[in-house]
Homo-oligomer: A and B are copies of this chain.
């Protein structure tokens, strides 16, 4: 895609709302000057912030005094916030073709419900997914689904593999990303038929645009054994949070240990650069930005509690997904798959 990338921003979303969204959007704007921002939010809050962040002075601003609460139930948000909330208006801009991507740090459930309701799923896709980057020893991988769907039949897992590989093509410039299905190594266990069946379908169909490598276990994700890790939303969400929690736990152990003695304090000072480089590698802000896949439009979910740098990363990934034509790549992947390997597509492609 050439020309400007038009980015619709829910200025009121997230724990800190506009106070993070506006400076974050400015940071991204400075890094990607080809972007054009459309802001939706409360004039009283947003206008003073815009004045203080001049790189956004070209942004188009639309006032609304309705914002979706962080703890609203999705159904409630949809009922009360449709047509008028800042979150809805950002999605609506994508729907009406006025923006290329919508970004919000607001309530995940509400954002997914509104995006699904308004943008609808792509042909052949029943359930959208949330995909995000996971830092690994080799760089980064994509993990999906991170919470949009609980449980998954084999067809849904295959769709996740196809969409995730399209995203990996975009994000990592890979022609044929390595894809693995998350599984456990305990042989006696029954009940994994869906995962086994999805593996069988992917292995037999040998899709030209992804390299299915088999099952991976939880500890293989961080090793970067594959580019795309596929699982259902419950397991993916738990795995991601368990990993994030472990990283924070070790950080706290290290902080405590380095303060133990005069020697460790001195050692810390000398090795400060090394500590910083490790901290940067596991900084969750760097991987911020969950990409909703399977919708007729690109929607990005930022962590609600991130800071401007983290939010800017979510905007950046939205920009890159548009620039590299994610939607077209997903459509091509699903269609190629439909024509070349009909069995991959299931019965729902229209």
**Residues of A near any B CB (own CB < 8 A):** 73-74, 107-110, 112-113, 135-137, 147-151, 182, 184-192, 217-223, 231, 233-235, 237-250, 252-254, 257-258, 260-261, 263-264, 266-275, 277-278, 281-282
The answer to whether residues A248 and B233 also contact, given A147-B184, A190-B150 and a CB cut-off of 8 A, is no
User: Taking A222-B245, A258-B271, A270-B267 as contacts, is the C-beta distance between A250 and B151 under 8 angstroms?
Assistant: no
Contact of A245 with B221 in the complex, beta carbons under 8 Å: yes
Number of copies: 2
B189 touches A218 (CB 8 A): no
Selected contact of A73 from candidates B187, B239, B253, CB within 8 Å: B187
Sort A-B residue pairs by CB-CB distance and give the 3 closest, nearest first.
A267-B271, A218-B241, A150-B191
A238 engages B237 (CB within 8 Å): no
Bound-state CA distance A221–B244 (Å) is 11
**Minimal Cβ-Cβ distance residue in B for A270:** B267
Having A253-B277, A257-B274, one finds 19 other A-B pairs with CB under 8 Å, namely: A74-B188, A107-B187, A135-B249, A137-B249, A147-B184, A149-B189, A150-B189, A192-B234, A219-B248, A222-B242, A235-B235, A242-B246, A243-B246, A246-B246, A246-B250, A258-B271, A264-B274, A267-B271, A268-B274
